[in-house]
Chains A and B, each alone.
Chain A
Amino acid sequence: MMPLAFARPGSLVRVIAIRGGQGVHAKLRSLGIMEGRLLRVVNLMYGGPVIVEIVNDVGPSPKVALGFGISTKIFVEEV
């Protein structure tokens, strides 16, 4: 398990846990990022923001940019 901020660009990861306050949780959830979800790390700047694709099995998968602060609160596991 590692923070999303340190994931490998191009890798597919699964969200294991989200730390942080209710506000962070709510914000991420309404975007569809929550425990159990698959994310593809599209692009990442070390110490900076990360772009992830929220993987959908049907239909297109939307992309979201997350700042460094928030992406250190999302714990993921490479699959």
Chain B
Amino acid sequence: MSIEKTRKGFVVALAGVPNSGKSSIFNKLTGGKAWVGNWPGVTIEKKVGTLRLDSVEVEVVDLPGIYGLTAYSLDEIIARNFIVEENPDLVIIVVNATNLERSLYLALSILELGANAIVALNMIDLAREQGIEIDYQKLSELLGVPVVPTVAVTGSGLQNLKKLILERAKGGKARLNIVNYGDDVENAIKKVEELLKSNVPELLKKYPSRWISIKLLEWDEDVIRKVKSYAGGDEVIREVERIRAELQNKIEDLELYMTERRYQKILEIVRSIVRQIKPKGITWTDLLDSVLTHRVLGVFSAIAVLYMLFRFAFEISTPFVDLFSLLINGYLHDWILGLKLLPPWLASLLADGIVNGVGTVLSFLPLITMFFLGLAFLEDVGYMTRIAYLVDKVFSKFGLSGKTVIPLVIGFGCNVPAVMATRAIEDENERKTAALIAPLATCSARLPVYMVIAYAIFKRAAGGVVLSMYVWSITLALLVALALRKFVFKGSSTGFVMEMPPYIMPRPDIISMKMWERTKKFLRKAGTVILIGVVFIWLLSVTGPSGFLGVNALSSPELLEHSWAGLLGRVFSETVFKPLGWDWRTSVALIFGFIAKEIVVGTMAILYGVGEKGLPATLAKLHVFTPVTGYAFMLFVLIYVPCVATMATIRSELGSRYMLFALTYELILAYLLALTVVGFGHLIGVS
């Protein structure tokens, strides 16, 4: 028997409105394993996974969550270009059964594109809970494509979906004219189609002519550009302009009219497929919202919830942090140092450099993981959108929308995923502003520095002093945003529009996935960069102008003073940091803190020749800081460069220019503010 030609793999695109459960379907289909990259030329995430069906490999491309296919949003242009130009074998349209109208608008837009499509009618369980039943067979008849009911979270209906994918990916017929735009417009569409056929036949090899015609009549800038790029295109556009003018004698706002026709069709469909099985009444969501979005009660609730989030993260993670530091920075570190086989410098590099580096990163892992777990819970329940609503009024005074609150809250965990989370903000100016102020959110790595200094100097008032850093953090972020919006990213915002989905029971798989995605970003970026940084510090500490100082340098402050690190600290403490009153040891800690704030406390502990536990007492005994210089130091740590990893993230999101900008403004702001505090302290006589 001859070897049969192996069947070609299929490409399937997954489309849906935000909150339609598209990501759950993607994960269930691909087993959660995805290749994550960017769409060409933009920083919008592109996820691709594979699904094996029988012997066929299916590549699943996750399109951005969108409401329509207009040319006004980058996400929508990306989605439609993918469908038209990459020509996937099948488009799975995920329809949210609890939000039919909005989902069907997108579905009709995709079908109008001439795509071979199937519909996954998702969240039917929630729809039933809300009192409606949907006749999906009827929906399939009306749309002319197969419809599978699914509940992605539990996996129900997914076997049918997979079967259907295999069946329809081989080819299916699309129905292009579900929406009838009325005689006048339909005639115009025909005229434009004729025009296209005779003037730009090449274009029609790639794009469906009815879709191009509709989009031209709607004066879609992106499609106009496409048509113009073909020989004979300019003439088509001129003629379309004439046809539009003619139409506008009868229909004033053509675009509005066509959208209305689509909505009429949708209403018609919805009416004929939805059956109300329970009368509409007040829902849990309404009840909760009457408190949680109340302008006074809501704000108190938000403060309480966010406080609980922090407490949850700290309480749960503390035992793990202690365990890791005992095992890694304790046992493993000592065991390697004690190995007789290794030359001392190598043992020190491994133990003091690499193992300590790994330990430093890991010591933050439990806290960050728990913080992101709590945050993912709040997001999945639907609560974060309410917080965005509550802060929008205040944020808008600073040129930001309420949406910015989400990256900022993430930033209290780790700045790296915070900068990445600004991608969800559609407005370009606002997004860049948010990414540049995200480092001012005081991340969990900065907290230990505040704690040590505050306990050393302020004793009983330490709690209040640490809290004041959080107030500074938010205040500075908003003020810098205001300045950026005023002088750098000018122009009014496109406005705050955010869906408020009904509250739902959190879904463990989605929460854990979200938590893991963000933690992974921390691990990958922070892990590598911090590790390299710690090794680098080790090197600067055991060598000096006189050469190798011996591995004892790390435990002997006298030797350390003669290392490169000590020298660097001296230079700084006697020049720029002199007016601030910081000694060479704290200066070294700040220089190393450039790599990551995780390192500051550890460096100080080494330089003062004590363990981290004994550091506050030593700082107090040696009078290293006055209340004024100590507070200035904490402020400086809050503001100046959070870590190399965050800078690298800003670079990959916004480019080197903005990274340098962030670096500069943070250093200047940190220095000036620290100087002000010290100056003010002298003025009122506290020193």
Which residues of A are at the interface with B, using a C-beta cutoff of 8 A?
22-32, 34-36, 42-43, 45, 47-49, 51, 54, 56-60, 62-70
Contacts and interface: CB of A to CB of B under 8 A. Distances in A.
Contacts of B294: 43
Contacts of A57: 271
Interface of B: 67-68, 70, 72-73, 98-102, 105-106, 127, 130-132, 255-256, 259-260, 263, 270-271, 274, 276, 280, 285-286, 289, 293-295, 385, 388-389, 392-393, 396, 401-402, 492-502
A48 B389 CA distance: 9
B130 A62 contact: no
Given A23-B72, A30-B67, A60-B132, A42 B494 contact: no
B276 A49 contact: no
14 contacts: A26-B68, A26-B73, A30-B102, A31-B497, A32-B263, A42-B286, A49-B496, A57-B271, A62-B99, A62-B102, A62-B501, A65-B496, A65-B499, A69-B396
B69 to A, nearest CB: 9
Contacts, number: 140
Nearest to A54: B101
Contacts of A54: 101
Contacts of B106: 30
Contact of B256 (A35, A58, A70): A35
Given A32-B101, A68-B396, A43 B289 contact: yes
A27 B258 CA distance: 15
A63 B493 CA distance: 22
A65 B403 CA distance: 11
A62 B99 CA distance: 7
Contact of A56 (B101, B260, B492): B101
Nearest to A33: B497
A31 B393 contact: no
A29 B253 CA distance: 13
A22 B499 contact: no
Contact of B98 (A42, A45, A60, A68): A60
Name the residue among A32, A60, A68 with the largest chain B CB count within 10 angstroms. Answer: A60
A34 B274 CA distance: 22
A57 B263 CA distance: 14
Nearest to B272: A58
Contacts of A34: 256, 259-260, 263
Given A45-B295, A65-B385, A65-B500, A31 B102 contact: yes
Name the residue among A43, A49, A54, A62 with the largest chain B CB count within 10 angstroms. Answer: A49
Name the residue among A30, A43, A48 with the largest chain B CB count within 10 angstroms. Answer: A30
Across chains A and B, which 6 residue pairs bring their CB atoms closest together, nearest first? Answer: A48-B393, A67-B496, A70-B495, A30-B68, A30-B67, A63-B500
